[in-house]
Amino acid sequence: MTTSTVDSPARRSSRGGRVLRYVLLVVVACVVLGPIYWLVTSALKPTADIYTYPPTWIPNPLHLRWSNFADAWHAAPFGRFFLNSLIVTAIGTVGEMLCATLCAYAFAFLRFPFKKVLFGVLLGAMMVPGHVTLLPNYLTISDLGWINTYQGLIFPGLGSVFATFLLRQHMMTLPGEVLDAAKVDGAGHLRTMFRVVLPLSRPMLITAGVITLVAKWNDFIWPLIVTNSTNMRTVPIGLLFLKTQEGYNNWGAIMAATVLVIVPVLVVFFFAQRQIVAGLTQGATKG
């Protein structure tokens, strides 16, 4: 509890460093939040206020245009789009995580011939851009008669190299003693996986799960290609229904619909965030 009038040089520089750090943090926060702020406020403005110069940064609180949301909701069957997105994202994420976990476990702990080669092939698949597989996938799904169905939307996305890779790398870091102990106690592979490996991998599972979920929720090209009718569309394509190619766009409604689309993802992220952060710090202290 000293009240020294003169700070030591070291102390001053650290305070200066802290100020600089905070300034940088504020700048980064603005860069990240700026577009989101613009999106949310635009969703509450009348169209003419969205495209004005100089820009209206703060919408008039007395004239917030909440009807943008109603306009968007009624312009296309968004209820149906949300239902479809929910089904596809939920089943798709669970399925993909299941496949990825099983696959990662196999590559991490099982011994089988050509393991390294196969893993190399798997990694190689990560380098193939999605567009290359688009047409073959489409033809396969079409031959199965799955165009415009939930199976068609979900199945091709179930195999995920990225989540597999992420989980496998994490599983490799798990201490071998724990696994040996499980083995001594008579646990088979499935029991070891569900009782030992997965609980230890929880933060990584959640991280991979959130990444997968966001990717599925936002996916645009595949749902556009594989569904035909309005009733089978997902929300990102729903946004397309609001925008015309030439002529007049009701930007207020488009912004409002976009807000509706990103809210579920934000909510999920909000809840998962603590887990992700916990996972990261856990790893940090261990290291």
Helix (H, G, I), strand (E, B) or coil at 266: helix
> For residues 286 and 203, is the Cβ–Cβ distance under 8 A?
no
90 binds other proteins (CB under 8 A): no
Closest CB to other proteins among residues 22, 220: 220
In angstroms, the CA 88 to CA 149 distance is 10
Binding mask 202-241 for other proteins (x = CB under 8 A): ----------------------xx--xxxxx----x--xx
Tokens of 248: 């007049």
> For residues 157 and 216, is the Cβ–Cβ distance under 8 A?
yes
- Residue 188 beta carbon to other proteins: minimum distance, rounded to whole angstroms: 4
Q: What is the rounded (10 degree) CA torsion for 185, 187, 193, 194?
A: -90
Q: Tell me the window of 4-12, 86-94, 121-129, 245-253 that interacts with other proteins (CB under 8 A).
A: 245-253
Q: Report the residue from 20, 243, 267, 278 that binds other proteins according to the rule CB under 8 A.
A: 243
Closest CB to other proteins among residues 90, 102: 102
**Angle separating helix axes 67-75 and 78-109, nearest 10 degrees:** 80
| Number of residues this chain uses to bind other proteins (CB under 8 A) | 43
Tokens of 54: 């100089």
129 binds other proteins (CB under 8 A): no
In angstroms, the CA 80 to CA 238 distance is 10
Closest CB to other proteins among residues 8, 229: 229
118 binds other proteins (CB under 8 A): no
Type of residue numbered 175: P
146 binds other proteins (CB under 8 A): yes
Residues in contact with other proteins by the rule CB under 8 A: 46-48, 51-54, 75, 135, 138-139, 142-148, 151, 183, 186, 188-190, 224-225, 228-232, 237, 240-250
